[in-house]
């Protein structure tokens, strides 16, 4: 078993005091990244951080609206509330087995030529079909008098880029009181979980090609998740097939023609959505 390493990352670029700025950080390539720890201080609060984006090869793979949203996302998965350290998790915290939890770490190793062979003449077993050449984190920060922003990463040994988490924002039109129909959730990758950021969702149903695969009230959903490995949030209704810690559970959307989410809400208003997908970097 290889040793996990914790390393301080290069300095953020673009830091400023007295005015808003965009902080940018480039991660080194080679190891398999499991977490990024953002150490924030000075006058910076979670609410001051927005548009927290991770890009691989210049392609956006994660996007959180605010530090507050990211912290609530982490707390649902069982992490402690942020207090000066905000975590971006590329693994799936809290699952029952190490392999399931670490499956989605970002392997940046082995960007080798597919035509290269090993000593016995066979194809290179370490060939990486989706090699990562750039790994970037950026975050908008509101104006503050004093600013402290540094980052560390936890990583393990090199491996090819396999399945990764993709965190996408969806902002549907404002919802009405009662049952709403949401059909604009992108399909293709498997859904690991989906967060409906509204505190007054009474129940949620999900239909895939006309077949109802999920139907639960909010109290029932909370009870199931508490019995599992999750910490329900008062700020969201979360559909999470992995709630019992089984990392193989997911909502497959590849080849699906019609995918509908039917939240029933008490009070009309906006409901931002965060979708946690699992898929290949190429998709």
Q: What is the CATH number of the domain that holds 21?
A: 2.60.120.730
**DSSP state, 225?**
H
52 and 184, same domain (yes or no): no
Question: What was the pLDDT predicted at 118?
Answer: 53
Instruction: Return all residues near 236 (Cβ < 8 A) that are at least 6 apart.
Output: 72, 76, 195, 196, 197, 198, 199
Shared domain check, 133 and 17: yes
pTM score of the predicted model: 0.93
User: What is the per-residue pLDDT across 126-182, written as a single tens digit (0 to 9) for each?
Assistant: 667 788 999 999 999 999 999 999 999 999 998 888 899 999 999 999 999 999 999
Asked if residues 93 and 165 have their Cβ atoms less than 8 Å apart, the reply is no
Report how many domains make up the chain.
2
pLDDT in tens, 208-230: 999 999 999 999 999 999 999 99
3-class DSSP state for residue 136?
A: strand
CA–CA distance, 25 with 274 (Å, rounded to integer): 23
Report the residue count for the chain: 283
- pLDDT of 143 reads 95
The answer to whether position 80 is within a domain reads: yes
Note whether 182 and 254 are same-domain residues.
Answer: yes
Task: Note whether residue 85 is domain-resident.
Answer: yes
Terminal alpha carbon distance of the chain: 31
Is there a single domain that holds both residue 24 and residue 132? yes
State the residue range of the domain holding 40. 5-111+126-161
Instruction: Kindly report, residue by residue over 84-129, the tens digit of the pLDDT.
Output: 999 999 999 999 999 999 999 999 876 555 555 555 554 555 667 7
Q: Would you say residue 1 has pLDDT above 50? A: no
Which residues are registered as beta bridge partners of 62? Answer: 54, 167
Q: Is residue 120 part of a domain?
A: no
Q: What pLDDT score does 115 carry?
A: 58
Residues 12 and 56 in one domain: yes
249 occurs within a structural domain = yes
Helix (H, G, I), strand (E, B) or coil at 86: strand
DSSP string, 36-81: EEEEEEET--GGGEEEEEEEETTEEEEEEEEHHHHHHHHHHTTPPP
What would the pLDDT profile of 9-42 be if each residue is shown by its tens digit?
A: 999 999 999 999 999 999 999 999 999 999 999 9
The predicted-structure confidence for 146-158, as pLDDT tens digits, reads as follows 999 999 999 999 8
Among 71, 50, 67, 68, smallest CA distance to 141 is for 50
SS3 21: strand
Q: How far apart are CA 107 and CA 127, in angstroms?
A: 12
């Amino acid at each position: 078993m290889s040793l996990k390493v914790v390393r301080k990352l290069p300095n953020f670029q673009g830091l400023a005091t007295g005015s808003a700025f965009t902080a940018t950080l480039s991660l080194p390539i080679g190891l398999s990244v499991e977490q990024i720890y953002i150490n924030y201080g000075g006058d910076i609060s979670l609410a001051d951080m927005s548009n927290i984006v991770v890009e691989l090869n210049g392609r956006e793979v994660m996007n959180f609206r605010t530090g507050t949203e990211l912290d609530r996302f982490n707390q649902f998965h069982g992490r402690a509330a942020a207090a000066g350290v905000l975590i971006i998790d590329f693994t799936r915290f809290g699952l029952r087995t190490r392999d399931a939890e670490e499956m989605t770490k970002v392997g940046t190793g082995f960007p080798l030529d597919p035509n290269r062979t090993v000593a016995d003449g066979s194809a290179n077993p370490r060939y990486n079909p989706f090699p990562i050449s750039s790994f970037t984190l950026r975050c908008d920060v509101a104006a503050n008098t004093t600013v402290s922003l540094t980052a560390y990463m936890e990583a393990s040994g090199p491996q090819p880029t396999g399945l990764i988490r993709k965190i996408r924002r969806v902002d549907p039109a404002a919802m009405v009181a009662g049952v709403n129909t949401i059909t604009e959730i992108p399909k293709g990758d498997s859904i690991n979980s989906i967060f409906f950021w509204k505190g007054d969702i009474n129940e949620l149903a999900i239909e895939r090609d006309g077949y109802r695969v999920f139907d639960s009230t909010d109290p029932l959903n909370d009870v199931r998740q508490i019995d599992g490995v999750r910490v329900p949030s008062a700020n969201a209704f979360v559909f999470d097939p992995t709630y019992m810690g089984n990392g193989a559970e997911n909502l497959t959307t590849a080849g699906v023609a019609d995918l509908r989410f039917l939240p029933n809400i008490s009070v009309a208003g906006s409901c931002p959505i965060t979708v946690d997908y699992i898929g290949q970097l190429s998709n």
